[in-house]
Amino acid sequence: MESLIVPEVTLYNLINGLLNELDKNWNNTQDKTKTHLYRFWNGVIDTKYDYYKEAVHLFASRDIDNPRKVACRLFYDMERASLPTMHITMPSDLTGDNSIGVDQSGLASEIFVDANAGEITPTLARRFDSQFYIICTSENNREVLLMYHTLRAMIISSWHVLEHSGLQNMKISGQELKINETNVPNHIFMRGIGIMSSYDIRVPSAFPLPLITQLILNPGTVTNQ
């Protein structure tokens, strides 16, 4: 049986991997026209603001010791709200499309047999529909715009990775987030990428069942397995 699916950890690892890919891809590619950042942002200009140049500066030019290097947090980190940061939050985790009771797998690979103890342990499962937000924050509104659109593009480009990690039937959305001034200073900009998906939790039963060792075919006739 595979380990538990923890969507927060899956997203955290994916985002860090995508951020590393943006950095390595730009710095290790001689022809910059073949880089992700060039393909995403070249030619996008707002008055005098060149988004391609700023994207390179944000994602590929700051070393790990730079406090303004884009970082990812597994939960909302208020201390980094003013810096370019992606925070993972979970607004909801609801029961999904399940059968009555607790699904019991009949797959041989998900049934544990302990012949010495005379026990068999089935695998039980529940399906959940979850919604997550990846909240992009910074005191610079254009950094938020760059993080939001770059990360969304990278998620779309690596969609199959999330599907293979156990997050199924994914849908992606986005929205501007209102600031709660009691928790966040009013000069902070925030935008969230919403990810809705379904996933299965499969665990061995806490209560093993007795292993069948005999079958009685006719009264008085015992056949040992």
pLDDT digits (tens, 9 = 90+) for 154-199: 999 999 888 888 888 999 999 887 666 566 667 889 999 999 999 8
| b/e sequence 150-184, b meaning 16+ C-beta within 10 Å | bbbebbeeeeeebeebbbbeeeeebeebebeeeeb
Percent of the chain with pLDDT over 70: 80
Q: Is the pLDDT of residue 143 over 50?
A: yes
Q: Are 88 and 151 in contact (CB under 8 A)?
A: no
Tens digit of pLDDT for each residue in 103-131? 555 554 566 666 676 677 778 888 899 99
DSSP string across 84-135: SEEEEEEEEEEE-S--SS-EE---GGG-EEETTTTEEE-EEEEEEEEEEEEE
- The whole-model pTM stands at 0.81
Whole-number pLDDT of residue 100: 56
pLDDT of 148 > 60? The answer is: yes
